[in-house]
Structure 1
Amino acid sequence: MKKEEIDYLKIEGMFAGATAEVRKFAIQLRANTTESENKLWDYLKTKPNGLKFRRQHPFNLYILDFYCHKLRLAIEIDGGYHFTRLQQEKDRDRTLEISKYKVDVIRFTDIEVIDDYPNVIDKIDSVIKERLKTSNL
């Protein structure tokens, strides 16, 4: 089967074929979250609009900061090292790879989550409502 013929949605469900090593690393990350991840998790764990989010979710070769499988939505929080050109290229490639699984990624910076929390929540809620409307869930 040619690479472009792969049905990415059939690869290991919500984990998209994540290996045991990736899953193990996700557990480590859950034990060492950042201030901004903790702050956003305080909101997402309340199941906004009745939707379950997972934190530090293993997904293929990656670990998503937050993931809602029902909406196929990942939320990423970028710390300072994400502002280097090399890391921005890696993030772009990572987002492209994740999008092959029909997962959308929205990104916020640490600073946005800490200093502009109400607007971050408003944007997440807006994306959720739009996706619920267009996906007929």
Structure 2
Amino acid sequence: MKKQIHNLKILESRRKYLRSHLTPAEAFLWKHLQRSQLRGRKFRRQHSITYFIVDFYCPAEKLIIELDGQYHLNPDVAEYDSYRTEKLEELGFTVIRFENKMVFDFLPSVLKEIEDNFKLK
């Protein structure tokens, strides 16, 4: 039997909370990812994989997008981010990260980089 790793019940209330309290950068990027706007790809926000809740996830591409604010500049947080990325990549996911400022200042470049990580053309 295949072990469930997506959207574990134990994290449901946390995912719901995070979806209703998006950061400004998450809300801004979500406007461009929702409703399959980016090359027809469906994205989910605040999706959990094992015990990690990721900002955005594209199931068709096994692509995870993480947005990092000032909080992620803390060395301990950055170390944890690296650990998370490593664990998710071991499960076969691709993880890309953007600073919040990038989303606001260089949205076309951010969207292009996301598209560049699509394996299915």
TM score, norm. by length of structure 2? 0.91
Deviation at 1:123, TM superposition (A): 1.1
Determine which structure has the larger helix proportion and give its number.
Answer: 1
Query: Which residue of structure 2 lines up, in the alignment, with residue 21 of structure 1?
Result: 10
Moved over 6 A (4+): none
- How far apart, in 2, do the equivalents of 1:64 and 1:36 lie? 14
Superposition CA RMSD, Å? 1.4
With 69-78 and 20-29 compared, the bigger mean Cα shift is at 20-29
Provide Cα deviations, 1:78-128, integer angstroms capped at 9, x if missing partner. Answer: 011101111111000001111121011000011101111111111112222
Instruction: Decide which structure has the larger Cα Rg and report it.
Output: 1
Q: Which amino acid aligns with 1:132?
A: L
Provide Cα deviations, 1:31-77, integer angstroms capped at 9, x if missing partner. Answer: 00011101110111131222110000011111110001111110000
- How far apart, in 2, do the equivalents of 1:28 and 1:118 lie? 29
Pairing 1:123–2:113 present: yes
Pairing 1:132–2:114 present: no
Say which of 39, 57, 79 aligns to 2:28: 39
Within 5 Å, give how 1:44-63 maps onto structure 2.
Answer: 44-47=33-36, 48-63=38-53
Q: Which amino acid aligns with 1:85?
A: P
- How far apart, in 2, do the equivalents of 1:132 and 1:120 lie? 18
Q: Which amino acid aligns with 1:46?
A: R
Q: Which amino acid aligns with 2:104?
A: I
Q: Which runs of 5+ in 1 are unaligned?
A: 1-9
Q: Which amino acid aligns with 1:44?
A: L
Paired residue total:
119
Pairing 1:11–2:34 present: no
Q: 1:53 to 1:71 in 2, by over 3 A?
A: same
Query: Which residue of structure 1 lines up, in the alignment, with residue 55 of structure 2?
Result: 65
- How far apart, in 2, do the equivalents of 1:37 and 1:132 lie? 24
